Amino acid sequence: MFSYFIILFYILSIFTLAIIFRKFAPHQKELLRKIIHIGIGPLIPIVQYLKISQITALVVTGFMSFLILLNYKYKIFPIIEDVNRKSYGTFFYCFSLFILILLFWNKDPLSLTTGFLIMTFGDGLAGLIGKNLPSKTWSFFNQKKSLLGTITMFTVSSLILISTSYLGGYAFNLNIINIAILVTLLEQISMAGIDNITVPIFSSLAFHLVITRIIN
């Protein structure tokens, strides 16, 4: 029971921070969304450390995915998807976690954590930096991308891959850079927020196949 209290406290803290930010900066809707996007990232290693069961994690993420779909129509939680563009990124975010839990929760939790952290921190920080600092920009499938945002995605993804490889006892190898390049390219294809499902799933699969599985 104490484990669930810690998880609930963490989630409520993130959303409380977001609500306070919304009150004092109501026009920063994209930044507010990124606070939640990045803030949820550390929850997965916390939940794994607390040894929550796979079934419980699947039920929670499956239910949340359903609620988010309803939210697009009924605006039950406007703070979650309060941006002026058509995107299913929040649903993909939650549903990708459901898929990762299904695939890797017991089999390879390090791959799950790696993929999810790349999405939350890599993609999240790339969006923040790319939108708020000036640099060369281009459009890809009608989505605006920037040089600084792309560099951020590659750099953060590489650092996460190096860190989780080290924690898993795997030596640095060029496959880490190859995975970072792959997810950076996937992040370029972001229409309707689809990168929130392609980035974590492909990065987790790649980490599992070319780092943990091959080396083991």
Q: Which residue has the tokens 């459901």?
A: 98
Cα angle 158, 44, 13; round to 5: 110
Residue 36 has pLDDT above 90, yes or no: no
**C-alpha to C-alpha distance for 64 and 142, rounded to whole angstroms:** 29
Q: What is the DSSP letter of 168?
A: T
Q: Is 142 left (phi over 0), alpha (psi -120 to 50) or beta?
A: left
Of all residues in the chain, the percent with pLDDT exceeding 70 is 93
Contacts of 34 (CB under 8 A, 6+ apart): 124, 127, 128
* Paired tokens of 112: 């799950």
Q: Which H/E stretch holds residue 146?
A: strand 143-146
Which residue has better confidence, 77 or 128?
128
Q: What count of Cα atoms within 13 Å lies in the side-chain half-sphere of residue 91?
A: 13
Q: What is the DSSP letter of 215?
A: H
Structure confidence at residue 160 as a pLDDT band (50, 70, 90): very high
**CB under 8 A, 24+ apart: contacts of 16-21:** 18/79, 19/79
Amino acid (1-letter code) at residue 135: S
Please state the domain extents for the chain.
2-215
What is the predicted pLDDT for the residue at 86?
60
pLDDT tens-digit map of 54-66: 999 999 999 999 9
Residue 41 has pLDDT above 80, yes or no: yes
Lowest-pLDDT range, 46-55, 82-91, 133-142?
Answer: 82-91
What is the predicted pLDDT for the residue at 117?
97
**C-alpha to C-alpha distance for 54 and 100, rounded to whole angstroms:** 11
pLDDT tens-digit map of 72-123: 877 776 656 555 556 788 899 999 999 999 999 999 999 999 999 999 999 9
